[in-house]
Amino acid sequence: MRYKIALLEGDGIGPAVIDEGIKVLNAIEHKFGYRFEYEKALIGGCAYDDCGKPLPESTISIAKDADAVYLGAVGDWKYDSLPAEVRPEKALLGIRKALNLFANLRPAIVFDELLEASTLKPEVIKDVDIMIVRELTGDVYFGQPKGIEVINGERAGFNNMIYYEKEVERIAHVAFQTAMKRNKKLCSVDKANVLDASRLWREVVTGVSERYPEVELTHMYVDNAAMQLIRNPKQFDVIVTGNIFGDILSDEASMLPGSLGMLPSASLSNNEKGLYEPIHGSAPDLKGKNIVNPIATILSAAMMMRYSFGKNDAASSIENAVKSVLKKGYRTPDIHFGNTQVVGTTQMGDLIAQEILISN
């Protein structure tokens, strides 16, 4: 089997973590006999430097032609003064829209080996395994009208939080189907006590639940959900929420396993094509230092194997290799504690790739 992967390395530490992901995919090729064909394309600040656009049409074309997209990270402080329409982060919104990637899956899993890496008590986070399903192409990030205008003699900034019924329906189906494959528990997070958009969200999700009678559906306001993620995270199995709430809650959930460097993500459309990336940013201050954690990017490759290619054996091989390397005591600086052995970005990638090749 041959699969075509678009490589969008991006900025900052993006190329470094993608390099480690490729090492792992090379090991998967060797072990399972799959073949991956890569085509690189520019996105973010590096694309702006090359052609004045953070998301060139050529990149969109390459991504559409691929079976999956593998993304590093975008952004750098040197671009902060650019107009909003050409900021590197604009490319993320653009690629999601261009590929109709409306469903973002962000797992937050606490490995036993990393219980001490979290700032929370081990008894609070042990056995936590949460899947956050975030709607990705609606909400305030895409709503119109938006802008900064002079109103009544002073500047005002505004963004429109808007959801259409069909947008909520399709992400709700993804969430319920995800829950059906797990523990059949789904918590829908909104702000229906204040926001009209959230009231529609809750009504539609409740309606869709009639199609999934086996799933236990609960609702929670976003401020309470933020508190409960820290107070009692084990109460959650699958969470479904809108774009901006999902962005914030999934970053909060990254602190359960102890680091942003541990959380992968998959952004999916109605077909098998998906975009896979770590949830962390480009960290330009860490570029070239060989200290960043590549595990989130490596686990994103596992999600690629599972969701775009249907290769659960390869996905499990990657995940088990990560667990094995952590069990042996190897850590990047962000998850180091006690007597564990600190390794760099490249060595962590080498260790995980080697573990894939030697495991049964």
Q: What percent of the chain has pLDDT over 70?
A: 99
Evaluate if residue 20 carries a pLDDT over 70.
yes
Average pLDDT over the chain, rounded to an integer: 95
Report the C-alpha gap between 355 and 360 in whole angstroms: 10
Structurally, at CATH architecture level, domain 129-255 sits in 3-Layer(aba) Sandwich (3.40)
| Element spanning 70, H or E | strand 68-73
Q: What is the CATH number of domain 1-105+262-360?
A: 3.40.718.10
Closest by CA to 293, choosing from 245, 250, 326, is 326
pLDDT in tens, 114-170: 888 888 999 999 999 999 999 999 999 989 999 999 999 999 999 999 999 999 999
User: Do residues 97 and 268 lie in contact, with contact meaning Cβ atoms separated by under 8 Å?
Assistant: no
| Element spanning 325, H or E | helix 312-327
Report the C-alpha gap between 266 and 307 in whole angstroms: 8
pLDDT in tens, 197-236: 999 999 999 999 999 999 999 999 999 999 999 999 999 9
Q: Pairing mode, if any, of strands 264-268 and 238-241?
A: unpaired
pLDDT in tens, 331-358: 999 988 888 899 999 999 999 999 999 9
CA distances from 324 to 51, 110, 311, 313 (A): 43, 14, 20, 16
User: Do residues 335 and 117 lie in contact, with contact meaning Cβ atoms separated by under 8 Å?
Assistant: yes
- Per DSSP, the three-state class of 140 is helix
User: Do residues 241 and 209 lie in contact, with contact meaning Cβ atoms separated by under 8 Å?
Assistant: no
Cα 218 to its chain centre, rounded Å, is 24
Report the C-alpha gap between 223 and 214 in whole angstroms: 27
- Per DSSP, the three-state class of 77 is helix
Question: Within the chain, which residue ranges are assigned CATH 3.40.718.10?
Answer: 1-105+262-360, 129-255
| Element spanning 342, H or E | strand 341-342
Please list the active-site residues.
141, 191, 223, 247, 251
Q: What angle do CA 78, 142, 77 make, to 5 degrees?
A: 10
Cα pseudo-dihedral 53, 250, 193, 145, rounded to 10: 0
